[in-house]
Structure 1
């Protein structure tokens, strides 16, 4: 019963945020801070509705001025709700072009000024990466990327794609890895406290002086650091 009630409340919350967000987005379309506002609206009540306790250590995201690349592991659509209140100002994200056709959420994603990539068109994808690199370097905008390229519920990170790291190197900006503990499949939404999720931002990785020849090694370094962090977060997780 509690599980069904939570799903109903979550659906109502999702629609309400979608309507409010559309009004904000239409008044200030593509504003650089729209994504953060939308994410905070989504995350505002979701964690309470679902009974999820979130412990976040994300000081590096707020210590640096905007203009860096965030790379994070991606488990489910709940990531947005869990991270919503911790997203720093002037942060946008990158997603596949088809996202903009999702009812309400897709329109907010588009109005939020996020980067939409057509993965089936290599030329257009490269142009989007180049445009984003310029925004990082010249417009003091940060970008959030899931470098695995898809949702991953397993214990091991999939091989990171190079796009995020290429952008960071081209723009000469740091990379901040963000790790979310493995929660997919372990939450118990039929309990008052359905589980705990830990989020940790690692120290920035500098890219100044690097070239595109260093991109693959940079991606592998970041993946190793994040895997070790996620494993550590899991070891520290309370028994459910």
Structure 2
């Protein structure tokens, strides 16, 4: 019994005094919260739609996810400041592109995710148990990044589905998480898809997490994340040989905004 009390008393002391302990505590708490969220949403998706359906995500956001995510953000000490929401008010399908820093990006996605919008994710996520199943039920499109031909065929099929079912797509064009305080070069898949479907691209920029979150330094403090949604970039009339120019245009624009909003991002959550 004494050992139990000592352990319980030690936790707040370690949270206050050890940055490394705080990092692991918050990281574990976050992933446990995501698993619990998935466990709650899986039966709701099955009861509502009978299985995989793009409408599941909006239904869950309105009734479950937003409530739970608000509490997760509070426990993590995170605050999101969003600007440019009006730029998501585009009729029909479009492709959202955003920079990718960590799994915390999911919290930001839930702040702004428009109707009938699904994410593109690496196939490995499908194998993560409850979280992978919940993502699949929500319509997430899984791509094997190691097989370029498979990825291209999936993206081509996705372009057709976007137009047929009026679906929006959220893509991380860096292709992997990036903690370096800058943007990695963009892969071309999202831009080929947008050009093929002749749909607009809406860039969304997350400010740098480096002032409060760093897996390398085992740091996870409270902090503010800025999301800036930029005006839609039209692709009507573009052809495949315009893809590189389009990708560079988006990259340079988002990198400039990333530097701008990250310089002003610091301080504790409020």
Higher Cα radius of gyration:
2
SS of residue in 2 equivalent to 1:144: strand
Structure 1: give runs of 5+ residues left out of the alignment: none
Partner of 2:71: 45
Task: State the 1:42 CA deviation.
Answer: 5.8
* The one of 249, 252, 259 aligned to 1:224: 252
Report which stretch shifted further, 55-64 or 37-46: 37-46
What is the match of residue 198 of structure 2?
172
TM-score of the aligned structures, taking structure 1 as reference length:
0.90
The farther-off stretch of 228-237 and 166-175 is 228-237
For 1:217-239, what per-residue CA distance to the aligned partner results, in whole angstroms no more than 9, with x for missing partners?
10010000000001010122245
Distance between the aligned counterparts of 1:135 and 1:160, measured in 2? 23
Superposition TM-score, scaled by structure 2 size = 0.80
Q: How does 1:1-240 map to 2 (within 5 A)?
A: 1=12, 2=15, 3=22, 6=26, 9-27=29-47, 28=49, 29-36=51-58, 37=60, 40=66, 43-184=69-210, 186-187=212-213, 189=220, 194-239=222-267
Moved segments of 4+, more than 4 Å: 4-9
Paired with 2:89 and 2:265, the residues of 1 have a C-alpha distance of 26
Moved more, 77-86 or 67-76: 77-86
Query: How far apart, CA to CA, are the structure 1 residues paired with 2:68 and 2:84?
Result: 19
Going from structure 1 to structure 2, the CA distance change for 1:185 and 1:239 (only over 3 Å counts) comes to closer
Count residues in correspondence.
237
| CA deviation string 1:174-219 (max 9, x = no partner) | 00000000014624645xxx11110011010000010000001100
Is residue 73–residue 179 contact of structure 1 (8 Å, CA) maintained in 2? yes
Unpaired segments ≥5 residues, structure 2: 1-11, 16-21, 214-218
Alpha-carbon spacing, 1:63–1:14, altered in 2? closer, same or farther (3 Å): same
Output one character per residue of 1:42-91: Cα deviation in whole Å (capped at 9) or x when no partner.
63322111111110114145311341000000000110023213111100
Change (3 A) 1:113 1:220: same
